[in-house]
Structure 1
Amino acid sequence: MNVGLTKKEQGGHGEPMLPSLQARLACRAGMATTTAGIANGFVQGNLAILPEKLAASFHRFCQLNPKPCPIIGMSEVGDPRIPALGIDLDIRTDVPRYRVWRDGEVVEEPTDIMAHWRDDLVAFVIGCSFSFEEALLADDLQIRHIDCNVRVPMYRTNIACAPSGPFAGPMVVSMRPFRPADAIRAVQITSRFPAVHGAPVHLGHPHSIGIEDIAKPDYGDPVPVGDDEIPVFWACGVTPQAVIAAARLPFAMTHAPGLMLVTDLQNKQLAVL
């Protein structure tokens, strides 16, 4: 990934640039593709940006629903930077594509939100399952959406989140198909990563969690599920988007599903041994 960087941008004094910073700079330069498999080893995050008057209620919502909404970073009011996640990180430009919400509807999907940023906004970065995919791949488990070069399929479920203020609605899940023996191994591996959704919330039988058609995800892209495979569902950080829609909030911004913020945190820092 080369975006025509200067020597200074490449790390100054000749130091190699972190792949995570390289990914963010590529986003600033216009990259608008899925970030699955990009900057392997570095934590990716979902994004929710809300007015300060709603921030406390949303923070409480995340605390009540840690599986779909594990917070890994939060900005100060009006500050587009979160130094704990990356020194050179700008929430307004460093996501491949954003969603601007008004009255619960997506009205725009820009590649930066400079024109929409306000002094009263608070940004929340929520753990993403892309982070545990590195560990799955290291154990030779194939990940279908990466193999197919598409966005991970995501679905609204009938699993209700615990409400907080205006925030209430269904849990969203992401799906990866595995053969049963590999599904068991995937449970074991992802259980070590509670900060990025942890173990699955459901295996098999999509109808029992309100998914009518596995071939028609609500977000992302469909992937084939083999006859010898079962769908495995993890809580997903797109849940806030379902909740924003349900609450019909006057204004909010998020990432576009599957197009994440790449941070300088390392996945191994989040693993529980």
Structure 2
Amino acid sequence: MSTDNAISPMQVRAKIRSGEWQHNTSGVASGFVQGNIVILPKTWADGFLQFCQKNPKPCPIVGMSDQPGDFLLSSVGDDVDIRTDVPSYKVFRDGNFVDEVTDISSLWQDDLVTFVLGCSFSFEEALIADGLEVRNITEGVNVPMYRTNIACKSAGPFSGNTVVSMRPMTPKDAIRAIQICTRFPSVHGAPLHFGNPESIGIKDINNPEFGDAVTIKEGEVPVFWACGVTPQVALEQAKPPLCITHSPGCMLVTDMRNSHLAVL
């Protein structure tokens, strides 16, 4: 299946549920919010909620399950089944990555709580609409993501450093991107940094820890946004007995519109 930005969120989820779509969701379902996913037992969910509230740029909550054990997320769309509607999931036990799967029905428990966090794919649409190039979409790859030395605020057992996504731009376009993304605090908001990667702890810009490398052209600088993969770093530190997240770049495509997240 080729990337199609005109396809509806429900059609995307149907293809994911059937197993037809098992790769990243960048650029699909134009106009609709995509979400990072964190699923935790109820006894760990309150602490994670507090961590998100203290770190709204990397962890902006746009939806949650109504009750522990709910796998249908009516707050973010019609017939959204969190067990099947993400292209790829990562499974962690005691903070250690143990598996990557396309269906978590067999892992589901009655005490699990789902968090849907805002994703940078939403503001990419606004950047493109303003005439800015988004290199990962141009090159048809997943956005590059990096671990940094930017510390998050701790909450109980949850702590760690921020993960960032990167898009190369000219300095002029980077300033325009800051102006645009400031309007979207629910999907990471304005960039955290642009320019020298080493000043935020990134040693090799051509070797991202998550996603794919993209071309940085002469005259361009790397522009870094807080990223929804950050919770995976915090979960590695906290070591809950079970945690399920999306695989980087493989998002839940919701029925919420990006335009509803903009702050005018």
Q: TM-score range by the shorter chain?
A: over 0.9
The answer to whether the aligner puts 1:121 opposite 2:112 as a matched pair is: yes
Structure 2 equivalent of residue 248 of structure 1: 239
Give the deviation of 1:248 after TM superposition: 2.6
Structure 1 equivalent of residue 52 of structure 2: 62
Contact 2:143 2:249 in 1 (8 A): yes
Give the deviation of 1:175 after TM superposition: 0.4
What are the residue-to-residue correspondences of 1:89-100 with 2, within 5 Å? Answer: 89-100=80-91
Quick one: distance in 2 between partners of 1:70 and 1:107? 26
Q: Counterpart of 1:241 in 2: which secondary structure?
A: helix
Give the deviation of 1:18 after TM superposition: 7.3
Quick one: distance in 2 between partners of 1:253 and 1:84? 20
Structure 1 equivalent of residue 188 of structure 2: 197
Structure 1 equivalent of residue 210 of structure 2: 219
The answer to whether the aligner puts 1:186 opposite 2:177 as a matched pair is: yes
Give the deviation of 1:249 after TM superposition: 2.5
Quick one: distance in 1 between partners of 2:184 and 2:143? 18
Give the counterpart of 1:72 among 44, 62, 75. 62
Give the counterpart of 1:47 among 26, 37, 41. 37
Q: Percent identity?
A: 59
Q: Counterpart of 2:253 in 1: which secondary structure?
A: strand
The one-letter amino acid of 2:251's match is: M
Contact 2:64 2:75 in 1 (8 A): no
Quick one: distance in 1 between partners of 2:172 and 2:151? 29
Structure 2 equivalent of residue 11 of structure 1: none
Give the counterpart of 1:19 among 8, 15, 30. 8
Quick one: distance in 1 between partners of 2:139 and 2:234? 29
Give the counterpart of 1:257 among 248, 252, 255. 248
Quick one: distance in 2 between partners of 1:90 and 1:205? 41
C-alpha RMSD of the superposition = 1.3
Q: Which whole-Å deviations, capped at 9, do the CAs of 1:126-176 have from their partners, x for residues lacking one?
A: 000000111111111111111111110011110111011110001111000
Quick one: distance in 2 between partners of 1:150 and 1:250? 33
Give the counterpart of 1:268 among 239, 259, 262. 259
Q: Which whole-Å deviations, capped at 9, do the CAs of 1:215-242 have from their partners, x for residues lacking one?
A: 1111111111112100000001110001
Structure 2 residue runs of 5 or longer lacking an equivalent are: none
Contact 2:44 2:240 in 1 (8 A): no
Instruction: Normalising by structure 2, report the TM-score.
Output: 0.96
Quick one: distance in 2 between partners of 1:218 and 1:171? 13
The one-letter amino acid of 1:192's match is: R
Structure 1 equivalent of residue 155 of structure 2: 164
Structure 2 equivalent of residue 33 of structure 1: 23
Instruction: Normalising by structure 1, report the TM-score.
Output: 0.93
Q: Counterpart of 2:101 in 1: which secondary structure?
A: coil
Structure 1 equivalent of residue 74 of structure 2: 83
Change (3 A) 1:230 1:18: closer
Give the deviation of 1:206 after TM superposition: 0.5
Quick one: distance in 2 between partners of 1:148 and 1:134? 15
- Name which one, 1 or 2, has greater alpha-carbon Rg: 1
Q: Which whole-Å deviations, capped at 9, do the CAs of 1:88-125 have from their partners, x for residues lacking one?
A: 10000000000010122211111110011100100000
Quick one: distance in 2 between partners of 1:18 and 1:205? 38
Quick one: distance in 1 between partners of 2:25 and 2:242? 26
Total equivalences in the alignment: 259
